[in-house]
């Protein structure tokens, strides 16, 4: 890979990532090309793909993005209450839409902090169960995710109840794992 392409590929990464790992990833890519383990095209595509993934991750982790998403959620909730004030024949509510606040927050609340954590699953909209989990675990960060979203790295795999359907929502409470060797 020529120097210009390398520089271009590196600019695709978020700056903190580039500063920390940029030299290493370029050196390894060049080593893989030199030893015939990969081609320059494949090497460049792999770097570009990884850079985009890092960009998305950085965006999701950004506090500014989180605030914007929270504001959007509040607007969406306010909008749904406003729209609900105009009486119209309604279909029977689904498990998710029966709890609009939960459903709306779910769509923007996937702000996972990457760390070893335990996932606790309770049925969608079951506020009593969510409250019970929060009470039991103390200082927790409730994270609401749709059923069809896979638990990210750093979270233990979550087994969703079999009776939940795609589109319904569950609450996963991420609890920092106890010290290694602990329970």
C-alpha–C-alpha distance, residues 125 and 93, integer Å: 12
Q: Label residue 15 left, alpha or beta by phi (over 0 means left) and psi (-120 to 50 means alpha).
A: alpha
Which residue lies nearer to other proteins by CB, 29 or 106?
29
Helix residue ranges, H only, the chain: 3-11, 15-34, 40-61, 63-85, 100-108, 127-137
C-alpha–C-alpha distance, residues 102 and 123, integer Å: 11
Q: Exactly one of 6, 43, 102, 133 binds other proteins (CB under 8 A); which one?
A: 43
**Closest CB 157 distance from other proteins, rounded Å:** 7
CB 1 within 8 A of CB 48: no
Site residues (CB under 8 A) for other proteins, limited to 52-91? 53-54
Site residues (CB under 8 A) for other proteins, limited to 13-42? 17, 20-21, 24-25, 27-29, 31-32, 37-38, 42
Q: Exactly one of 1, 8, 40, 50 binds other proteins (CB under 8 A); which one?
A: 50
Residue 97 in contact with other proteins, rule: CB under 8 A: no
CB 106 within 8 A of CB 100: no
Interaction mask 128-167, other proteins, x per CB under 8 A: ----------------------x-xxx-xx----------
CB 120 within 8 A of CB 137: yes
Rule CB under 8 A: which residues touch other proteins? Answer: 17, 20-21, 24-25, 27-29, 31-32, 37-38, 42-43, 46-51, 53-54, 114-116, 150, 152-154, 156-157, 177, 180-181
């Amino acid at each position: 890979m020529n120097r210009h392409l390398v520089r271009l590929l590196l600019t695709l990464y978020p700056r903190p990532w580039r500063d920390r790992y940029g030299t290493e990833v370029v050196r390894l890519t060049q080593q893989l090309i030199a030893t015939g383990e990969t081609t320059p095209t494949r090497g460049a595509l792999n770097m570009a793909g990884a850079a985009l993934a890092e960009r998305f991750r950085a965006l999701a982790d950004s506090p500014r993005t989180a605030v914007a998403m929270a504001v959007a959620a509040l607007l969406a909730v306010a909008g749904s209450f406003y729209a609900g004030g105009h009486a119209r024949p309604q279909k029977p509510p689904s498990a998710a839409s029966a709890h609009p606040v939960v459903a709306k927050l779910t769509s923007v609340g996937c702000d996972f902090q990457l760390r070893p954590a335990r996932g606790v699953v309770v049925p969608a909209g079951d506020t009593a169960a969510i409250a019970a989990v929060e009470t039991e675990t103390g200082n927790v960060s409730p994270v609401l995710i749709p059923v069809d979203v896979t638990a990210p790295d750093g979270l233990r795999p979550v087994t969703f109840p079999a009776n939940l359907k795609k589109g319904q929502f569950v609450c996963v409470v991420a609890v920092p794992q106890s010290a290694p060797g602990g329970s």
